[in-house]
């Protein structure tokens, strides 16, 4: 079984320089951890995990180039430096038991369905989380990609394939980035 982030480790993240970015995120991260524990994967691949992947020692896909949210330092797993919107991913078919993409799919530049095809190709289980119905009317670049994502948009991004499970996470704060989220889980094994 893979090892996941603990609540204590998450609390320590909140004390880091970018801690305010993670404030309120335990609500969905803890639900993802429960799903991971239920799946009990032998290995995992995380797409765009920023500084703190959920699964310890997972392999990760990081977009090449500068990312203000960074990448994990001294990471034990393999790092693929590859843009997730470029097909094919440098991963063999069904190489991973689990693929995670948490709060990243909305950033895939209208290539979400292409990336989802690749996710299905390389993994047996997929967990994705999405912002849900965020009103991002002020036009700030960091929020434009989050605006009013609903189940129909997610269905388009995920080829209309119904997830096995959907978890709804309520708003966790006043800021736009603390809005409601949806977690989708698929089993392709």
Domains along the chain with CATH numbers: 7-187 (3.40.50.150)
What is this structure's pTM?
0.94
pLDDT tens digits along 26-63:
999 999 999 999 999 999 999 999 889 999 999 999 99
Residue 129 has pLDDT above 90, yes or no: yes
Going from the C-alpha of 43 to that of each of 3, 28, 50, 58, 98, the distances in angstroms are 10, 21, 19, 7, 7
Per-residue pLDDT at 96: 98
Q: Taking all residues of the chain, what is their mean pLDDT, rounded to a whole number?
A: 92
Question: Residue 119 — pLDDT band, cuts 50, 70, 90?
Answer: very high
pLDDT exceeding 90 applies to what percent of the chain?
A: 71
Q: DSSP label at 55?
A: B
The two tokens of residue 77 are 């797993």
């Amino acid at each position: 079984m893979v090892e996941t982030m603990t609540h204590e480790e998450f609390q320590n993240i909140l004390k880091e320089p970018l801690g305010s970015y993670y404030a309120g995120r335990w609500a969905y991260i803890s639900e993802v951890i429960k799903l991971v524990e239920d799946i009990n994967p032998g290995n995992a691949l995380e797409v765009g995990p920023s500084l703190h992947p959920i699964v310890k020692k997972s392999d990760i896909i990081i977009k090449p180039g500068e990312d203000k949210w960074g990448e994990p330092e001294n990471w034990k797993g393999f790092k693929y430096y590859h843009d997730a919107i470029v097909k094919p991913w440098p991963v063999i078919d069904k190489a991973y038991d689990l693929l995670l993409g948490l709060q990243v799919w909305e950033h895939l530049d209208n290539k979400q369905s292409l990336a989802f095809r690749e996710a299905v190709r390389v993994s047996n289980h997929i967990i994705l989380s999405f912002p849900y119905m965020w009103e991002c009317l002020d036009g700030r670049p960091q929020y434009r990609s989050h605006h009013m994502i609903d189940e129909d948009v997610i269905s388009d991004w995920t080829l209309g394939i119904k997830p096995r499970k959907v978890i709804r996470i309520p708003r966790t704060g006043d800021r736009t980035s603390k809005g409601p989220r949806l977690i989708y889980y698929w089993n392709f094994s």
